[in-house]
Every structure is written in C-alpha cells, then in structure tokens.
Chain A
C-alpha cells in the first residue's frame, strides 16, 4: 500500500488511471518500480548522514600505519557499501583524527560542509604483533549523551585481521543504526575456472581475501553454503558423472552423502539447514528432489518432463521452493510448496534461469533474456520480481551477459556473474540495481553464492 500512496500516477484523470492499472498489471514500469523495490528491500529508509574519521594511530609501531590504512579504507567502504547511509566524503570531513570521546568536537562534524548526523572515530594501534582498536559512534546532535556505540577490538597484527576488525565494527554500526544485520562479515562462495576445470573459492563480500576451497581437479560448480556456514554443498563431475559433494567447513573433510546415482546438480539448503533440494535424473529426467542433509530420505517433488534444475528455498518460511523448468520449452521460473504442490509459473516467456529468493521472502531475483531465441543476441540481464504481484523490474541493462544473482543476507544487495567479451567476473550491486561494482578481476570467476550471515 505504501507503493500506491507514493505513486504520482494516482493524481491523474480516471481513464488514464484505469489504463495505467491495466498496464501495471501486465508489465512493470521500471521508473515506478523503483519505489516498491526500495520499500521491499529496506533501501527506501531515510538515509542517515554519516561521517567516518580516519582513526588515530594508537602507537608509533611501524605496522600501525600500513594496517591502519587498510582498516580506515575497509571501514569506510563497508559503511558505503551498506547502501543505507548518506556518506560524508573524506574531503568534506574535518581534517582531524580524534582518538577518544574527550578529543572529539561534535560541532566540527555537525557543521557544514560535513553536516553529519552521526560520526565514527577512534584509535588504531599495533604493538607486539597485536592490533588494539577503540571505536566509537557518536550522535552529533545529542550534546548530553552523544555516544551511540563504543567498542574495543583486539586481534593479530596482519592485513586480514585489520580488515576483519573493520568488518565487525561496521556491522555493529549498521545493526545499531538500521536494526538489520550488516553484510560486512559475510562471504561469497564462487567458482573459478572454466570448462571441465573449475574449483570452488571463497572471498569476503567486498572481493578481498580470495582463496581456494576445493582441490578436486575436476568441474565443481553450483556452490551452496549452509545457513550456519558449516557445510558447503556443490555439484562435481566424478567418475560416473555429476554428483553432489558436501564439504565440512570446520574439518575440511567431505561428508557422507547418500545418492542413488544419476546426474545430480544444483544443491540448495533449506533455511533450517536440515534439508537439501537438488536436481537429480534418477529415472531419465532431471527433476527436483528433497532429502536430508546427508542425502537420505530422498523424495521427488516434481514430475515435469524436461530439464528441472536450480531449486532455491524461500529463506523466510522454508515452505516453498522456486526453480527453473523447461517443461514448456525455454526455461521459466516457477514456485511451488516444498512438497511439490501449488505450482505457479512466475515468468511469462523469454529465457529465465538462476533464481535466488530474498531473505524476507518477498522477491525473486533471476537472470532473464526476454527476447531469447535462435539468432537473437544474448542479452541476459538480472531482474527482480515481487512474488505476490508478479511485478518485475530490470536491474542490469545490457552491460555484458549477466547470470547467477544471489541475495545478500541483509536483502539489500545482489551479487552476480557478468561476462564482458570472454571475461567473466563477480559483481555486486544494491538490490535496486544501483552501485554496481566489480569484485573479482581474474576474468574467470562465476556462479556466486552469498552466505546467509
């Protein structure tokens, strides 16, 4: 209803209005669609103007300066990436580095040109191979008790730990100011390589700290991290073809997974982490099956001739599954209850694949080529659809060939694969399609899966 009240169309004459409603019912108009997207993804909240001071060097240890640079940069970019702050650029900030509440002069920050409502500051020092960070969040307009947050962090003195502290502090600030957990500590699992030679990798949400997870020497793809980050499921090409592998992220050992044989693809965890849905061709047709986390209690939930693949659970309820089916020809997105009932087709044509379900259960994002066909240029973009109304909005617009969108845990971001020429990389954007940024640069990264927290 928020959508209707904000919509300027409703000030127009009744005839035009009726036409507009009919039009809106069949196809979305991106300009207006932005509104419901912003409301549904919490991107539409009023943005707090936030300043971040460079931290005061707490020691004269030579490591302090190099690591503090990493910390300052990571903290600022985490808060920028959150997408819900009106960030004060560093050039507009007062040229000071207050280390403690005693040193900060709030009027410096609330006055132009910074005009900050909130300010982040503190000290960062390395000594004896250890980092010590004091961080504060102050409300510039509350002279009586300005402190919103005060935190202390200690970790080993290296670049990754400096980044991790920045991520943790950023998430504390985001939670306090927005009420929603941040994504700064989240991970993106993805695939590096091409053809029959692919391995699963993982990186921080901002593209830093990339490292290889699997070393199977074959084609492994479709990573799916469990909601508690303890298990990674994926499809891997073995001696007899495609099978599901489950890797314990705690012990780095492969766990037993019961499979009846046949091509097995695209595993997806249920939100309680107790079940997997995947595509299995046990009887000659790829269908969606559901099983326990170790593969037992396997049962088929679709019976539609043609390719059925890429299931994802409704993370909010765990009672629905979206998937891709070629039952009518070109692949389309469908939803159903997790027992296979109440099948509903979501897309009305074209070539639609790779669904991901938003954490609040309201949206699907997926790759769609609305004009796909023999001889048609491959214009595949990322779309977002409101499940209840089937209204959709296009998030990418013909820049490269885009696929495999995956929601961030805060529901405000989408990570995806983009191929430009013959180079494929991972990108991230806000869920309204803005602030697109490239996370990998090796030209051979694909199929990202964003962790649940």
Chain B
C-alpha cells in the first residue's frame, strides 16, 4: 500500500509539472461564449475572471478578480455563490482551474483562470520527491562471490540498469554501501566491504555515471540483511547497496 501511495504521489507531481509547462504562459484566461441562443428580450451575460499571479509555489496566496454583466447568479466551482463582481484571496494547495459560471435572464456564460502551484521547495527538490523505495526499485544492489569484490556478469547487467537510471536522474547523489556475510573477522570484512563498494563505484563510473555523485561506505559485517547461517543468506549479505545521498541537504 505504501508503494501505491508513493507512486500516485509521484504521478500527480509529474502531472503538475506537465500542466504547469502547458499553462504557465497564459496570464488571464477569459472566455465569453453564449451557451444558448439569447432570447430577444434579454442580453446574454458576460463574465471574466483573473488570478494573480498565475504561478505560485505551494502556500502562496493568489488574488481572484471577476466581473460579470447581465448576471443574476454567479458561482465559482469549489468556492460557491459569490457576488456578481469582486475579489478574494485563495491559497491553492495544488494547481487549480477557477471556473466561474454566470447565469442571467439572457442565459449562462462561463470563464476560468488557471493557477499553477509548484511544490513548496526549490525546483531541484523535484528529484527528492523520489522516495527511497522508488529509488531502490530502480537502482538495485549487486551481489558478490565469497571473499571476493569482483563484479560478476549478473552484477554487470544490474549495474548497467542502475547507471541508466542514475544518468536519467542527474540530481541524485548516491551512497554505495559495501556489505559482507558474517563469517570471518570484523576488521578484515570492513576493508573487504570497502573494496566491494569501490568495485560498484568503478563499474557505475565505467557505465557513465559521474564519480562526483558517488560516495562509498563500508558496513563490513556490521549490518546484515539476513541473519541465518545458510549460503543463501550469506549471499544476500555479500552486496553493494545503493541509497540516495542526503548528507548535503
């Protein structure tokens, strides 16, 4: 469930970006189209609405201003009935289209204004919206043979996928953790874990990832993913694991 929720967040964040790109040049959207043939006795209403500014970061208020003529009833979706002309302050939490409907004896007319809301933090934070779970789904660990830090053929395939993802997300920095199974000496395994982390780093660099984005840490046998004394469990512990580097934020 957590994954699905995080995915939907990511999706909506993406939509916001896309909508923002398409809508951000329109300062005022004014539409005035009669929706029905006007009766001969009454003129059709006119309506306009503006939002200032039309692009904000989350938490910043916008001012809505609207005017109508020949209307007896005016409403804005999500706000409700309003005066036939006026201004008000709104603080949208997400990108919103303020849709105004003016109804009068001569018929119904609508108008709308768009506000694009960017997430609260700096634009770079778009990358940080990638959760650890999403990151781990895309940048998978690689595994090593017993007492070895050599990149295996299966690990080389994983590294290529990992590198592709990292190249597509150039603002993510990565910590590479080197891990060992719990046999052998603590101190030697810390050094071996460092070799494993470095081997993964070199493989990513060879696949096109900038070394400036990669930092190595050894966990040796100090942290275990699996604690049974079986070969399958030892294999799970002999790895280089990738996590997002948050140390500079």
Q: Tell whether A306 pairs with B185 under 8 Å between CB atoms, given A241-B216, A263-B218, A326-B147.
A: no
Residues of A within 8 A of B184 (CB): 331, 351, 353, 372, 378
- Are A309 and B223 in touch, CB under 8 angstroms? no
- Are A263 and B217 in touch, CB under 8 angstroms? yes
**Dominant SS among interface residues on chain A:** strand
A446 to B221, CA, bound (A): 14
Instruction: From B146, B147, B190, give the contact of A265 (CB < 8 A).
Output: B190
- Are B190 and A353 in touch, CB under 8 angstroms? no
Q: How far is the CB of B58 from chain A (nearest CB, A)?
A: 30
- Are A284 and B218 in touch, CB under 8 angstroms? no
For window 170-202 of B, CB contacts with A under 8 Å fall at 183-188, 190-192, 194-195, 198, 201-202
A281 to B215, CA, bound (A): 12
| Closest chain A residue to B211, Cβ basis | A284
Q: How far is the CB of A277 from chain B (nearest CB, A)?
A: 13
Residues of A within 8 A of B183 (CB): 378
Q: Give the B interface residue count (CB, 8 A).
A: 27
Is A185 an interface residue when CB atoms closer than 8 A count as contact? no
Q: Tell whether A306 pairs with B195 under 8 Å between CB atoms, given A239-B247, A242-B218.
A: yes
Is A37 an interface residue when CB atoms closer than 8 A count as contact? no
A284 to B204, CA, bound (A): 14
Is A386 an interface residue when CB atoms closer than 8 A count as contact? no
- Are A329 and B147 in touch, CB under 8 angstroms? yes
Could you say which of B202, B217, B224 has the most chain A C-beta atoms within 10 Å of its C-beta?
B217
A284 to B203, CA, bound (A): 12
Residues of chain A whose beta carbon lies under 8 Å from any beta carbon of chain B: 195-196, 219, 221-222, 235, 237, 239-242, 263, 265-266, 279, 281, 284-286, 306-310, 324, 326, 329-331, 351, 353-354, 367, 372-375, 378, 380, 403-404, 446-447
Residues of chain B whose beta carbon lies under 8 Å from any beta carbon of chain A: 146-147, 149, 183-188, 190-192, 194-195, 198, 201-202, 215-219, 222-224, 231, 247
Name the 10 nearest CB pairs between A and B, nearest first. A307-B191, A353-B185, A309-B191, A241-B217, A286-B191, A263-B194, A284-B198, A307-B192, A374-B146, A281-B194
Task: Pick 29 A–B contacts, CB within 8 A, sort by A.
Answer: A195-B223, A196-B223, A235-B190, A240-B215, A240-B217, A240-B247, A241-B215, A241-B216, A242-B218, A263-B217, A263-B218, A281-B194, A285-B195, A286-B191, A286-B194, A307-B192, A310-B188, A324-B188, A324-B191, A326-B195, A331-B185, A351-B184, A353-B187, A354-B187, A354-B188, A373-B146, A403-B185, A403-B186, A447-B187
